[in-house]
Amino acid sequence: AIMLSLRITPFGERKKQRLVVGRDITKIYHLNMIRRDFVANASHELRTPLTVIAGFLETLLDATGTPDHHRRPLTLMRNQTDRMCSIIEDLLTLSRLEMRERPEEQESVDIPDEIHLILQEAQTLSNGRHSVESQVDEDLLLLGSAPELRSAFSNLVFNAVKHTPDGTHIRVVWRRSADEAEFSVIDDGPGIPPEHLPRLTERFYRVDRARSRESGGTGLGLAIVKHVLNRHDGRLRMASELGRGSRFVCGFPAKRALIRDERDEILGDEIQT
């Protein structure tokens, strides 16, 4: 079979005719598949030896016989191993997202519940250094995959914690608008220079490499967010201004939004007579 990418453009007098340009993308498609499988296999193969190394480092650090002057290098090694583990986990998440066109399960996801859990984790991560506020439509649910949506939303919230200094104000909003369900994370941190915005969802793209490595980022978070949104017919919108902060918005079409049936919550199941 060959894969074609088709572009249809109106042309001719009063644009009544159609010009169809087909491009054979079979090769690109196959190369992409090889790349995808390679990344998935390599990450998978690296995971086991890395887990073994991490385990032994932990044992050495816990042992009372370990000389003091070994503790510092061992701690550094442990931290770097942890980083590698996070990168590999994120690469595996991305490959899994790429393997399947659509989420396997479509369920009504209790987004308000997910947000409350994510905010608790964010508080732990921030350790009181940020002020976090939320405005959540408690009755608004979304049709999709719970684990995928959880990872997308938590990436955005944790980014606002990781990439902004102490004292930053973070606001998380989940609401209905005219034709969308919208999840937003807004911070009044240092912001991102506008020229970087279009490239932020590329794998391993970071604004300030050194600083974001320090903050424990893998550079894969926004790539994961973008994939998850694509699979939920959603769009990621971002706006940022230096010195004023950043806003990341996930917009989902209204057809995916569900309203919680309050009768079930209050009275339980109905009987029919």
Residue 115 structure tokens: 């947000």
Alpha-carbon gap, residue 156 to 148, rounded angstroms: 13
Site map for ligand ADP, 238-257, x if CB under 6 A? --------x-----------
95 binds ligand ADP (CB under 6 A): no
Binds ligand ADP (CB under 6 A): choice among 160, 181, 250, 257: 160
Does the protein bind ligand ADP through residue 81 (CB under 6 A)?
no
Min dist CB 86 to ligand ADP, Å, is 9
Contacts of 240 (CB under 8 A, 6+ apart): 191, 192, 194, 197, 246, 247
- Is 159 a binder of ligand ADP (CB under 6 A)? yes
- For residue 144, give Cα distances in angstroms to 114, 118, 138: 13, 18, 17
Residue 122 lies near ligand ADP (rule: CB under 6 A): no
- At 141, list the tokens: 């649910």
- The residue (of 160 and 249) whose beta carbon lies closer to ligand ADP is 160
- Residue 212 CB, shortest distance to ligand ADP, in Å, is 3
Site string for ligand ADP, 161-200 (x = CB under 6 A): -xxx----------------------x-x--x-------x
* Of 142, 117, 174, nearest in space to 254 by CA: 142
Select from 40, 68, 74 the least CA-distant residue to 54: 74
Residues 6 or more apart from 91 whose CB is under 8 A from it? 39, 40, 43, 220
φ and ψ at residue 26, rounded to 5 degrees? -55, -45
Task: Give the CA angle between residues 149, 48, 152 to the nearest 5°.
Answer: 10
Q: Which position among 183, 217, 236, 249 is part of the footprint of ligand ADP (CB under 6 A)?
A: 217
| Part in contact with ligand ADP (CB under 6 A); list of ranges 33-41, 45-53, 212-220, 256-264 | 212-220
Using CB under 6 A as the binding rule, whether residue 236 contacts ligand ADP is answered as: no
CB nearer to ligand ADP: pick between 150 and 163:
163
Q: Report the residue from 122, 132, 142, 222 that binds ligand ADP according to the rule CB under 6 A.
A: 222
Contacts with ligand ADP: how many residues (CB under 6 A)?
A: 21
Of 81, 126, 151, 218, the one binding ligand ADP (CB under 6 A) is: 218
**169-176 sheet: strands from edge to edge:** 131-136, 169-176, 180-187, 245-253, 235-241
| Residues at the interface with ligand ADP (CB under 6 A) | 155, 159-160, 162-164, 187, 189, 192, 200, 206-208, 212, 217-222, 246
